[in-house]
Structure 1
Amino acid sequence: MATESGAPVDRIRSHWWWRPGWSYGRRCHTWRITFAERPEVHRLVSRYQSAMLSLLGFDLAPLESLHLTVQDVGFTDEVGEDEANAVVDLVQRHLAGTRPPEITLRGIVITEETVALPVLPTHALDSLREVVRGAAAEVLGAERVPAPPEGPARLSIAYANSDVNPVFVRALVSDLDLEPVSVPVDSVSSLVLHRDHQMYEWDKLATVRLG
């Protein structure tokens, strides 16, 4: 199991270090695809997580907080709620009548900070990300929009909270042969997100439906 570049990871580190700009108590306007109404995804994730219950050094992602990152818009002390709502209006306008893409969650990947399910096809979310990023740039100006997510989309199911030897992770999950799950991406949500408690938590600002 490999990094996004294809090279096997030889070290896993904690995911919960403070990225630039982040601090305890700070919130961010962001767009995510959530899976609260996808029991088929919950079942798949639960199978993998059950295999990891004896593994120390990881926080298993609560099923209600499973998500795929689309695009950050900005911290709430830099982007006002009126601006965030204006982005919602534009995204809603641009996605009206758009056919929902279908994604497949298949296999497992171990990264330097997470255990995740790859999203296939690899570029399935590119158009959606471009719509949200374009709407944010139109409202805020391109120079205020945070960088897009790095690498291919993946659904994180466990986050490292300390240094872990990936050998132990591979031993528990690499032999699992689970059926892939395919779901349509029929909505995307604007969230006010924080990570104060070593998990991703949010309040929902709006949900935009596709199709």
Structure 2
Amino acid sequence: MRDFWETHHWPEGERRAHWHLLFSDQPSVHDFARAHTDLLARHPELSPVPIDWLHATLQSIGPLTTEQTGAVEEAARPALRKVQPFELEIGPAQVIHNGVVVALYPEEQISALFWALRQATEEVVGAERIPGRPSRFWPHLSLAYSNAHWDSDDLARALVKLRPPRARITVSHAVLVDQQQLWRDKYIWRPLTRVPLGTG
């Protein structure tokens, strides 16, 4: 596994807006994450994500002015009215090249949410201001970031054996946050606005 933080180093003090799914009101997601706590704690090469800061990034944006923040919200509201609330299954966890992530299924509806937010955000800040358009959105939730270069084969095998029950939630809104990186530890944020899906 490689060091996540080597390639994700923000300038000190920089804050970046993101569209997230948040899980503060989803106890089944908390239970799923806690089922991995002991295993992840055995590996000092990992920076586990605290329960309070669990999130699934939908779209990274970057620094926004107050005016841009309001404009992004206003662009997103009509876009998300066209995306109906949907069910999402969370799990299993797996090792990737720079951390431990959890799969989110099915991909079709959360991908539709991503593209709606992407288009609305581009209309305000411009496509060149946000990360390049992917050929395919990869929905995931991070449980831990790697803080070293190390052999994670034992961890990968342990995750396959662990397999706690998957969490199931209803996605009904997206949250625009003002995010900050705590270097080699975690990400924290301040919610800016919550935009409902469908007509809710």
Global fold match (TM > 0.5): yes
Counterpart check, 1:209 vs 2:187 = no
Would you say the 8 A contact 2:110–2:139 is kept in 1?
yes
Deviation at 1:118, TM superposition (A): 0.7
Query: Which residue of the partner structure matches residue 53 of structure 2?
Result: 65
Q: 1:28, 1:192 within 8 Å by CA — same for their partners in 2? A: yes
Aligned pair 1:139/2:128, yes or no?
no
Aligned CA RMSD, in angstroms, stands at 1.9
Gaps of 5+ in 1: 1-11
| Per-residue deviation, 1:146 | 2.6
Q: Deviation per CA, 1:3-42, whole angstroms, max 9, x where unpaired?
A: xxxxxxxxx122112548x312111111111111111100
Q: Cα 1:129–1:67, aligned 2, differ >3 Å: closer, same or farther?
A: same
Match of 2:2 in 1: 13
Determine if contact 1:35/1:66 at 8 Å carries over to the other structure. yes
Deviations 1:113-151 (CA, angstroms, capped at 9, x unpaired): 111111111333111111111111211233333324675
Query: Residue 76 of structure 2 aligns with which residue?
Result: 91
**Partner in structure 1 of residue 110 of structure 2:** 125
Contact 1:52 1:173 in 2 (8 A): no
User: How far apart, in 1, do the equivalents of 2:145 and 2:163 lie?
Assistant: 22
More deviation, 114-123/35-44: 114-123
Structure number with higher strand proportion: 2
Alpha-carbon displacement from aligned partner over 1:51-107 (angstroms, at most 9, x marks no partner): 222222111111111111111222x2xx31211211111212222364212111122
Which residue is equivalent to 1:3? none
Q: How many residues align?
A: 196
Question: Secondary structure of the equivalent of 1:136?
Answer: helix
Query: How many angstroms apart in 2 are the aligned matches of 1:71 and 1:97?
Result: 18
TM-score (ref. length: structure 1): 0.85
Give, in whole Å, the separation in 2 of the partners of 1:141 and 1:175: 45
Runs of 4+ in 1 over 6 A off after TM superposition: none
**AA aligned opposite 2:177:** L
TM-score (normalizing by structure 2): 0.89
CA distance in 1, matches of 2:196, 2:181: 26
Q: Partners of 2:163 and 2:94 in 1: how far apart?
A: 13
